[in-house]
Chains A and B, each alone.
Chain A
């Protein structure tokens, strides 16, 4: 880098008092990393007085984030005071006030989470593994060798949607509805996925009624191990108000779709950008289980979670006031060299690779973490059986979002063994 470009790099020149890391463009063009690097160096708990989302604190270091994560008594996830993303949960007439346990505090959070978590607990996943493996194999077998294809659509979206349909026991032929609802749930009109808040509301209601039908069927059948049946039969969830039912569904749909999808794509890109690591993997497929957490750290499919301070608090020497919005930037904490050795390198056999922030910590830690890891492990095991290389052949297109760190398009070409 020349002195000239250094001077012009806004990440380095913008006054700290005006630095706003919430601009979705910075994530879409993947320049956000140097902004976070500067904050970690110069002002790790940073106050942004003005943004499209109002004033907010950025917590950028691993250990400071951990401190917020484990203190749910002080740092609330409650939807009614803002929720879990930098953008406040929608309120007002055109909004659908979804209630979901990720955006609740204990004790209500605890009861609802306990009701659904067995669906994604290890013993249930043992039963799911052969189904996911078979479906992953079918997806990969359907792909052409040597032709350009979109990995996002053909593999990442397809596999995670199939898994979600399996978890819900959702009508198989209609499973792409799940993908659409997941996209709509995290969309704002600016993203182009929906054209207005009203459209979003209508599509989500359609989703709700669809699932209500499934619910009504399952409640009259003996309990099964799918998520709908579990929610319909559990005392903690069976009398759930309609919007809470819809909210928790959206949580499971988005949680199961938008995250793993992007880690599947992100892993392909990371291995292409680090050919020595790709060779290491091909030489030793036994490294896959170790590589998976490294992919999840590297990708960090959710850039952040947000909390709202219920009382005055101190983070990293800064005075947080009651009512303040506190954003924990996982993407930044996952690049913190105080905790992670050589954090800017993608190392598939990294020691201690499970020590990352992508799943969060504390009572809100990702409930589906094991399904995510399972899908990634299976897809890579099946890829390695079939292809000598998944070659990225064009520029990836990234999601316009400061919350979802993902890809909308990743052109690849497959090479047979």
Chain B
């Protein structure tokens, strides 16, 4: 089971082991990680699961595809950077075991 670790703005860490195929958004929401709302249900439609992918991991998760819905939504999220992703668009696999995602100060 790959593990994804969410880091809160205050530094608190939430390591969560999930089945391969689970999205990072579901990992957070189903385990009560604060700061990931995921209002749309994981449909890439709201940007309330905005995370910053740790620089060491961005090559493996990939960036949001330019011009796609994810990038369209991220452009309105506060503090989004090129390492920003929507957690609902990151599917956990063994290859991503150890992934670190930082949660922004707020979801807009």
Contact = CB atoms under 8 A, between A and B. Distances in A.
Interface of A: 66, 69-70, 106, 110, 113-114, 117-118, 120-123, 125-126, 354-355, 359, 361-363, 365, 367, 369-370
Interface string B50-83: 0000000000000000000100110110110000
Given A121-B108, A123-B78, A370-B106, A361 B43 contact: yes
Contacts of A369: 108
Contacts of A122: 78, 105-108
B73 A121 contact: no
Contact of B72 (A66, A121, A126, A363): A363
Contact of B78 (A118, A354, A363): A118
Contacts of B48: 354
B78 A106 contact: no
Contacts of B73: 362-363, 365
Select the residue from A66, A106, A126, A355 with max chain B CB neighbours within 10 A.
A355
A123 B77 CA distance: 11
Interface of B: 37-41, 43-48, 69, 72-73, 75-76, 78-79, 105-108
Given A354-B39, A361-B40, A117 B46 contact: no
A355 B39 contact: yes
B39 A121 contact: no
B76 A113 contact: yes
Instruction: Tell me what chain A mostly uses at the interface: helix, strand, loop, or mixed.
Output: helix
29 contacts: A66-B43, A66-B45, A70-B43, A110-B72, A110-B75, A117-B76, A117-B108, A121-B78, A121-B108, A122-B105, A122-B107, A123-B78, A123-B79, A123-B106, A354-B37, A354-B39, A354-B48, A355-B39, A355-B41, A359-B39, A361-B40, A361-B43, A361-B46, A362-B73, A363-B72, A365-B73, A367-B76, A369-B108, A370-B108
Contacts of B37: 354
Contacts of A354: 37-39, 48
Nearest to A110: B75
A101 to B, nearest CB: 11
A66 B108 contact: no
The 10 closest A-B pairs by CB, nearest first: A122-B106, A361-B45, A121-B78, A354-B39, A121-B108, A70-B45, A361-B40, A355-B41, A363-B72, A361-B46
Contacts, number: 61
Given A66-B45, A121-B108, A355 B40 contact: yes
Contacts of A363: 72-73, 76
Nearest to B37: A354
Contacts of B79: 123
Contacts of A362: 45, 69, 73
B101 to A, nearest CB: 18
Contact of A121 (B38, B40, B41, B106): B106
A22 to B, nearest CB: 26
Contacts of A126: 106
A365 B46 contact: yes
A68 B28 CA distance: 27
A395 B22 CA distance: 49
A354 B40 CA distance: 8
Contacts of A106: 72
A361 B107 CA distance: 14
A181 B72 CA distance: 32
Given A70-B69, A354-B39, A361-B43, A114 B76 contact: yes
Nearest to A120: B108
Nearest to B42: A355
Given A70-B44, A122-B105, A355-B39, 6 more contacts: A113-B76, A114-B75, A117-B78, A121-B108, A123-B78, A365-B73
A118 B24 CA distance: 26
A234 to B, nearest CB: 14
Contacts of B45: 66, 69-70, 361-362, 365
B46 to A, nearest CB: 5
Select the residue from B38, B41, B44, B105 with max chain A CB neighbours within 10 A.
B41
